[in-house]
Amino acid sequence: MANVTVIGAGTMGNGIAHVFAQHQFKVTLVDISPDNLKKGVATIEKNLQRMVGKGVLDPEAVQTTLGNITTTTHLATGVSQADLVVEAATEDRELKKKIFREMDAHCRAGAILATNTSSISITEIGAATGRPENVIGMHFMNPVPVMKLVEVIRGYSTSAEVTRTILELSRKLGKTPTEVNDYPGFIANRILMPMINEAIESLFHGIAGVSEIDTVMKLGMGHPMGPLQLADFIGLDVCLSILEVMHEGFKNPKYAPCPLLVKMVAAGKLGVKSGEGFYDYSQSAKAEKVAAQFS
């Protein structure tokens, strides 16, 4: 396996492309927006330079890594020579199925089709293709270049060979893969999202304030970041989407999103990416102050 295509140049997509390229894979980064591609590559370069500054990467590796990345706005062209395609588009079930149908039509026989989804059924996505045995979940954590975990999700039809291949590949990337089965939320979000939702419920009911809730979980439970700040970094819209998938999938009221979360998303308060969530990120100085508080 030498050629990897990543669909989506956003936060997760450029992070996934970064890691593969740094480990000497030839990477094609695909996005419908040329601006997104430029921003994605610029982010990769910025993160590589940060690693050089920290002494964890040799300066010459920056250009080598960037040289391993090409970009295109044409999905058919971008996936045609890929051994592996990793989809990292918006967390939208119908969009992902549409992308996988296109990937299936243009990928060579034997190519593995992976999705970075954090909650949507791998089985359902695979069923949209003519090769469900070659469809698998490869759920990276944010920030991808730093976080060691890859949640490898095996759909109902995913073959044992494909699963072994992705587990081995994840280790080659310096990651620690964990195999899980295909149920709503998998493992990471099945445990994380109810905790975040309960933190929001606690705020909603006036039990404690934002910083108080995060301080309790950080200092009392040893979490590196409080659940409300973490929700801001994930994106409140993403948190809501995952909870809705779990609520729909399990039909269990314990996964029902807190009304406060629903209202904040409706109001466009999505966290870091919108400039405001549970914390105010509208000014860079404020954002740095908040980040320093929890670092």
Please confirm, yes or no, whether 189 is among the known catalytic residues.
yes
Point out the catalytic residue in the list 3, 47, 118, 134. 118
Please confirm, yes or no, whether 118 is among the known catalytic residues.
yes
- Entry pTM: 0.90
Please confirm, yes or no, whether 151 is among the known catalytic residues.
yes
Task: Name the CA radius of gyration of the chain, rounded.
Answer: 19
Q: What is the pLDDT of residue 282?
A: 86
Point out the catalytic residue in the list 18, 87, 139, 170. 139
Q: What is the pLDDT of residue 230?
A: 97
Residue 52, φ and ψ in degrees, nearest 5: -60, -45
Beta pairing, strands 84-87 & 112-115:
parallel
Q: Give exposure, 42-62, as e/b (b: 16+ Cβ within 10 Å).
A: ebbbebbeebeeeeebeeeeb
Return d(Cα 162, Cα 126) in angstroms, integer.
13
> Tens digit of pLDDT per residue, the chain (295 long)?
899 999 999 999 999 999 999 999 999 999 999 999 999 999 999 999 999 999 999 999 999 999 999 999 999 999 999 999 999 999 899 999 999 999 999 999 999 999 999 999 999 999 999 999 999 999 999 999 999 999 999 999 999 999 999 999 999 999 999 999 999 999 999 999 999 999 999 999 999 999 999 999 999 999 999 999 999 999 999 999 999 999 999 999 999 999 999 999 999 999 999 999 999 998 754 544 444 443 3
Nearest to 127 by CA among 158, 89, 86, 91: 158
Point out the catalytic residue in the list 151, 157, 197, 202. 151
Q: What is the pLDDT of residue 292?
A: 44
Point out the catalytic residue in the list 36, 134, 189, 241. 189
Return d(Cα 21, Cα 3) in angstroms, integer.
10
Query: Which one-letter DSSP state was computed for residue 280?
Result: B
Nearest to 70 by CA among 5, 156, 136, 153: 5
As a residue count, the chain comes to 295
